[in-house]
Amino acid sequence: MAAIPVSPLAPKSYPDLPAIAGVRFATAEAGIKYKNRTDVLLVGFEPGSSVAGVVTRSKCSSAAVDWCKANLPGGVARGLVVNSGNANAFTGIKGQKSVELTADIAAKALGCAPNEIFIASTGVIGEPLDAGKFSGVLDQMATRLDDGPWMDPAKAIMTTDTFPKLSGATVEIDGAEVRINGIAKGSGMIAPDMATMLSFVFTDMAVSAPVLQALLVKHVATSFNAITVDSDTSTSDTLLAFATGKAEGVAPLESLDDPRAEIFGEALRDVLFDLAIQVVRDGEGATKQVSIHVEGATSDASAFRIAKAIADSPLVKTAIAGEDANWGRVVMAVGKAGEPADRDKLSIRFGDLLVAKDGERATGYDEAATSAYMKGEDLELTVGLGLGEGRATVYTCDLTHGYITINGDYRS
Amino acid sequence: MAAIPVSPLAPKSYPDLPAIAGVRFATAEAGIKYKNRTDVLLVGFEPGSSVAGVVTRSKCSSAAVDWCKANLPGGVARGLVVNSGNANAFTGIKGQKSVELTADIAAKALGCAPNEIFIASTGVIGEPLDAGKFSGVLDQMATRLDDGPWMDPAKAIMTTDTFPKLSGATVEIDGAEVRINGIAKGSGMIAPDMATMLSFVFTDMAVSAPVLQALLVKHVATSFNAITVDSDTSTSDTLLAFATGKAEGVAPLESLDDPRAEIFGEALRDVLFDLAIQVVRDGEGATKQVSIHVEGATSDASAFRIAKAIADSPLVKTAIAGEDANWGRVVMAVGKAGEPADRDKLSIRFGDLLVAKDGERATGYDEAATSAYMKGEDLELTVGLGLGEGRATVYTCDLTHGYITINGDYRS
């Protein structure tokens, strides 16, 4: 298969993220699947670092996900190992052994306990992962940990991504600067619960594990869990957040009632949201990003389900690819969501352009203006249900020949 | 847009269906949207005919669906009007008026009450349908009703279909021959609840409306509601069954306890299933038909939801298009279904070839044999969950460039 071209929605430039006190990393070429590129990331955390995480709800989660689930309740992290090219998913008892061996090797290299090591794997499903390959590699990496550049870990975790994904925020707390850096990877097999597929966020703020977990769960709902590329959910989706507490002059954040929790939470949300949108913009074959807003639903949850039905509809997504303001297909998707909806109260807008109102084509519908709008790269689609106050937004991309080529063109 | 080529999965020949006593029809070119082809069907039933039906569960159902819903409880039919090219869906109060006018015109033409007329429309959503166009047309059609050929109604109801869909069965009951004929249309926007999009079945057997309804509901579950092309559900899906009672020498079927109910029901099921499979085989862009069998689930309903998750997965469907036995994607789809599943008990077969067992690649997995199997046009995929006795089958097709071309290539 020919190389996949970089997404037309890729960022024009990348942020130069600052060092995070207490976080040091290295990347390497372990040769798990790829050649001539880094495919393994080792991150070391200073003692006292806390961890929180959200993982896939797949009933067939990978061995690495199971490992993280088992160790997250401990709330303590000293290391993170991520490999790309092999997801170590659906590899039976071999997969579990492979994860245990990886944790042992990393723990020895970093001088900590295996259950303080977090692990994520991404790539092919069903192929046994030979963790022995990490043996010399992780030891060697541990000798050259550094605090930058952040482009390196962002690149090492890529699979079918066409661009690396980084985001950062700084926020003033207690008169000091607190930093949050994040990286992510993901392009296909992306849908809520979780959609990452992988994302790692690092801060020098001291945040207790329960508070970090609560903030992560809150803000993942409107970021990674509000995006969909193709409605498919990975067996490996993992979002982990690490807090080193090494920012000087900042008291630990140990309660959600602490007013600083909201300030820190908003900055965390900005980073998560930015990374999630980058994943959508790298959606396989994507040529347009679409924000699907649903308002006037009977509840926020109902609005979300309707927005997701629209965002996942192949007919809506192909119409957007064709720059066709096909609101009939939007009505179809609203109808199939199974949520309360009254056909004759529906309104639909593309951007600011009202195309349908009260169950029929809007008076004054301007086909030329709507067609012109649809040629844009960033589209807003708003559905008003007229039933209540519930609202939600889901972010997606169009469905193009590119998606079929990437996922189905093996025969050539 | 260029003409869509006929599906490679189209039947090699079409059945020459016999007349059904008490059913007479005509087709015409009303010019609703298409030119140089028939786009309206009028069917007249002799007095005493019963009717049953299953319609879309869309919350935004079309005006014609609402009309059928309102009149099905009456259980009596004298006429059926079907038009193609305009679905009369999401057309507000105009849509309702249009349906009422159509029923009035047809009732006058056939000499019956408007609520004995059933109506179905298919085609573009959101465009008002000018029922005035039916005025002279239906009157004229009523003067030339005939009992054949059945290819005519099958063709008149087509939209993006690439071939007409007909099926028939005869069954001996009370020593006499009872006939069931059916027609269907549908190609995209096909998913359970209902997937037809339109299908009409006719029998000369006398079957009371409640019995006909019960048999229809029972057998639609394993036919039209067990197929999916693209997971999208139409606002217009309608399946209607009409029983004229004009078969000579056959006593009326008025109870499900009557042993003839099962005999008749099986024949009805054969016709519904044949038509449903034809819809899948005319799936937009389809090059392969796939039967997804799930067994060993905790219940039949659970098995069905897992089979549907697999059948709807874009990643599974593109892999099949690419003739790739990508069982990793099948595991992913099982995992995202949200139903009970134990990764380490899963087995997966393509045809008779075991590819995965007990949570990992099967010993003796034969890549060459599996690749050869995937080149076939009719594929069987079986997932064993190893948890219970629940089983279900869902029928689908692959996802190809053809689907994108048909639904998204407006820009050219």
DSSP calls for A81-143: EEEEEE---S-HHHHHHHHHHHHHHHHHHHTS-GGGEEEEEEEESSSPP-GGGHHHHHHHHHT
Give the mean pLDDT of chain A.
91
Q: What is the mean pLDDT of residues A149-161?
A: 93
Q: Is the pLDDT of residue A6 over 50?
A: yes
Compare all CA atoms of chain A with the CA of B372 and give the residue at the minimum distance: A411
Burial of A193 (0-12, 13-18, 19+ CB in 10 A): middle
Catalytic residue among B196, B203, B235, B244: B196
Same domain as B242, residue B200: yes
Report DSSP letters for B37-87, one per residue. Answer: S--EEEEEE-TT-EEEEEE---TT--HHHHHHHHHGGG-B-SEEEEEEEE-
Q: How confident is the model at residue A188 (pLDDT cuts 50, 70, 90)?
A: low
Q: Which of A90, A231, A346 is the best residue to mutate to test the B interface, defined by the most B CB atoms within 10 Å of its own CB?
A: A90
Q: What is the mean pLDDT of residues A68-79?
A: 97
Domain range spanning residue B321?
289-408
Exposure string (b/e) for B325-357, b if CB count within 10 Å is 16 or more?
Answer: bbbbbbbbbbbbbebebebeebbbbbbebbbbb
Q: Quote the pLDDT of residue A58.
A: 84
A6, A131, B2, B234 from B86: Cα distances, Å: 40, 60, 20, 13
Q: Which of B33, B343, B348 is the best residue to mutate to test the A interface, defined by the most A CB atoms within 10 Å of its own CB?
A: B343
Catalytic residue among A162, A196, A244, A370: A196
Q: What is the mean pLDDT of residues A56-71?
A: 91
Q: Quote the pLDDT of residue A197.
A: 80
Q: Is B196 one of the catalytic residues? A: yes
Q: Is the pLDDT of residue B411 over 70?
A: no
Burial of A257 (0-12, 13-18, 19+ CB in 10 A): exposed
Chain A residues closer than 8 Å to B94 by CB = 360
Pick A336 or B411 by higher pLDDT: A336
Q: Is the pLDDT of residue B412 over 60?
A: no
Report which DSSP code applies to B158: -
Compare all CA atoms of chain A with the CA of B324 and give the residue at the minimum distance: A410
Is residue A295 within 8 Å of residue A347, measured between CB atoms? no
The two most distant CA atoms of chain A are separated, in Å, by 70
CATH number assigned to the domain comprising residue B364: 3.10.20.340
**Chain B closest CA to A273's CA: distance in Å?**
23
Nearest CA-CA partner of A62 in A196, A263, A214:
A196
Q: How confident is the model at residue A190 (pLDDT cuts 50, 70, 90)?
A: low
- A37-51, A56-70, A180-194, B382-396: least confidently modelled range: A180-194
Compare all CA atoms of chain A with the CA of B311 and give the residue at the minimum distance: A232
Chain B residues closer than 8 Å to A58 by CB = 332, 335-336
In this predicted model, what pLDDT tens digit does every residue of B255-278 receive, in sequence order?
Answer: 999 999 999 999 999 999 999 999
Of B250, B281, B312, the one marking the end of a domain is B281
Cross-strand bridge partners of residue B300: none
Q: How confident is the model at residue B128 (pLDDT cuts 50, 70, 90)?
A: confident
Q: How confident is the model at residue A235 (pLDDT cuts 50, 70, 90)?
A: confident
| B343 with A59: Cβ contact below 8 A | yes
Of A223, A254, A281, the one marking the end of a domain is A281
Report DSSP letters for B341-372, one per residue. Answer: --GGG-EEEETTEEEEETTEEPTT--HHHHHH
Chain B residues closer than 8 Å to A324 by CB = 408, 410
Q: Which of A67, A99, A312, A336 is the best residue to mutate to test the B interface, defined by the most B CB atoms within 10 Å of its own CB?
A: A336
Same domain as A245, residue A114: yes
Is residue A204 within 8 Å of residue A267, measured between CB atoms? no
Q: Quote the pLDDT of residue B189.
A: 64
The sign of the dihedral angle between the CA atoms of B139, B141, B145, B151 is: negative
Q: Quote the pLDDT of residue B235.
A: 79
Q: Is the pLDDT of residue A205 over 90?
A: yes
| A335 with B92: Cβ contact below 8 A | no
Nearest CA-CA partner of B208 in B51, B394, B13, B43:
B51
Same domain as A298, residue A153: no
| B126 with A360: Cβ contact below 8 A | yes
What tokens were used for B98?
Answer: 């249009």
Same domain as B194, residue B53: yes
Q: Is the pLDDT of residue A187 over 80?
A: no
**Chain A closest CA to B190's CA: distance in Å?**
11
Report DSSP letters for B73-86, one per residue. Answer: GG-B-SEEEEEEEE
Pairing state of beta strands B238-243 and B50-55?
Answer: antiparallel
**Is position A14 within any domain?**
no
Q: Is the pLDDT of residue A195 over 60?
A: no
Same domain as B402, residue B362: yes
Report DSSP letters for A208-260, one per residue. Answer: -HHHHHHHHHHHHTTTGGGEESSS---SS-EEEEEE---STT---B--TTSTH
In this predicted model, what pLDDT tens digit does every residue of A264-289 receive, in sequence order?
Answer: 999 999 999 999 999 999 988 999 99
Q: Quote the pLDDT of residue B37.
A: 92
| A314 with B344: Cβ contact below 8 A | no
Q: Quote the pLDDT of residue B188.
A: 65
Q: What is the mean pLDDT of residues A229-256?
A: 90
Secondary structure (3-state) at A14: coil
**Is position A121 within any domain?**
yes
Q: Is the pLDDT of residue A412 over 60?
A: no
Q: How confident is the model at residue A245 (pLDDT cuts 50, 70, 90)?
A: very high
Of A253, A281, A309, the one marking the end of a domain is A281
**Is position B2 within any domain?**
no
Report which DSSP code applies to B116: G
How much is the CA Rg of chain B, to the nearest whole Å? 22
Q: Is the pLDDT of residue A193 over 60?
A: no
Helix and strand tally (H, E) in chain A? 11, 16
CATH number assigned to the domain comprising residue A109: 3.60.70.12
Between CA A269 and CA A264 the distance in angstroms is 9
Amino acid at B69: K
Pick B211 or A358 by higher pLDDT: B211
Q: Quote the pLDDT of residue B237.
A: 86
B295 labeled binding residue: no
Cross-strand bridge partners of residue B25: B43, B146
Pick B35 or A215 by higher pLDDT: A215
Shortest CB distance from B331 goes to which of A125, A231, A334?
A125
Q: Is the pLDDT of residue A301 over 60?
A: yes
Between CA B52 and CA B71 the distance in angstroms is 10
Backbone angles phi, psi at B159, to 5 degrees: -120, -95
What's the helix, strand, coil split of chain A in %, to 5?
Answer: 35, 25, 40
**Chain B closest CA to A126's CA: distance in Å?**
6
Chain B residues closer than 8 Å to A359 by CB = 90-93
Chain B residues closer than 8 Å to A60 by CB = 331-332, 334-335, 341, 343, 346
Is residue B239 within 8 Å of residue B137, measured between CB atoms? no
Q: Quote the pLDDT of residue A175.
A: 93
Secondary structure (3-state) at A30: coil
Shortest CB distance from A92 goes to which of B232, B315, B358?
B358
Compare all CA atoms of chain B with the CA of A123 and give the residue at the minimum distance: B328
Between CA B72 and CA A47 the distance in angstroms is 71
Is residue A126 within 8 Å of residue B361, measured between CB atoms? yes
Q: Which of B1, B96, B225, B232 is the best residue to mutate to test the A interface, defined by the most A CB atoms within 10 Å of its own CB?
A: B232
**Is position A80 within any domain?**
yes
Between CA B189 and CA A173 the distance in angstroms is 53
User: What percent of chain B is predicted at pLDDT more than 70?
Assistant: 96
- Residue holding tokens 């109102």? A357
Q: Quote the pLDDT of residue A132.
A: 87
**Is position B11 within any domain?**
no
| A232 with B333: Cβ contact below 8 A | yes
Q: Quote the pLDDT of residue A406.
A: 84
The sign of the dihedral angle between the CA atoms of B71, B76, B80, B82 is: positive
- A338-342, B48-52, B67-71: least confidently modelled range: A338-342
Compare all CA atoms of chain A with the CA of B327 and give the residue at the minimum distance: A126
Q: Quote the pLDDT of residue B191.
A: 56
Same domain as A209, residue A106: yes
Give the mean pLDDT of chain B.
91
What tokens were used for B203?
Answer: 């029998």
Q: What is the mean pLDDT of residues B135-146?
A: 95
| A235 with B333: Cβ contact below 8 A | no
Q: Quote the pLDDT of residue A348.
A: 96
Q: How confident is the model at residue A191 (pLDDT cuts 50, 70, 90)?
A: low
The number of distinct structural domains making up chain B is 2
In this predicted model, what pLDDT tens digit does every residue of A350-396 receive, in sequence order?
Answer: 999 999 998 888 988 998 999 999 999 999 999 999 999 999 999 99
**Chain A closest CA to B206's CA: distance in Å?**
35
Q: Quote the pLDDT of residue A45.
A: 98
Between CA A406 and CA A162 the distance in angstroms is 12
Shortest CB distance from B235 goes to which of A321, A332, A338?
A332
ipTM of this model?
Answer: 0.84
Same domain as B250, residue B128: yes
Between CA A199 and CA A80 the distance in angstroms is 12
- A41-50, A333-342, B200-209: least confidently modelled range: A333-342
Q: Quote the pLDDT of residue A90.
A: 82
Amino acid at B63: A
| B400 with A408: Cβ contact below 8 A | yes
From first CA to last CA, the distance across chain B in angstroms is 7
Shortest CB distance from A322 goes to which of B87, B359, B411?
B411
Pairing state of beta strands B117-124 and B79-86?
Answer: parallel
Q: Is the pLDDT of residue A1 over 50?
A: no
Chain A residues closer than 8 Å to B358 by CB = 92
Compare all CA atoms of chain A with the CA of B360 and give the residue at the minimum distance: A91
User: What percent of chain A is predicted at pLDDT more than 90?
Assistant: 71
B38 labeled binding residue: no
Pick A407 or A350 by higher pLDDT: A350
Same domain as B171, residue B214: yes
Shortest CB distance from B401 goes to which of A92, A327, A404?
A404
| A234 with B332: Cβ contact below 8 A | yes
Q: Quote the pLDDT of residue A350.
A: 97
Same domain as B273, residue B320: no
**Chain A closest CA to B403's CA: distance in Å?**
9
Compare all CA atoms of chain B with the CA of A234 and give the residue at the minimum distance: B332
Q: What is the mean pLDDT of residues B315-321?
A: 93
**Chain B closest CA to A74's CA: distance in Å?**
25
The sign of the dihedral angle between the CA atoms of B362, B365, B367, B371 is: negative
Same domain as A323, residue A181: no
Same domain as A372, residue A230: no
Q: What is the mean pLDDT of residues B77-105?
A: 92
Q: Is the pLDDT of residue B182 over 80?
A: yes
**Is position B141 within any domain?**
yes
**Chain B closest CA to A56's CA: distance in Å?**
9
Backbone angles phi, psi at B167, to 5 degrees: -155, 150
Between CA B267 and CA B167 the distance in angstroms is 11
Same domain as B155, residue B60: yes
**Is position B271 within any domain?**
yes
Q: Is the pLDDT of residue A109 over 70?
A: yes
| A356 with B90: Cβ contact below 8 A | yes
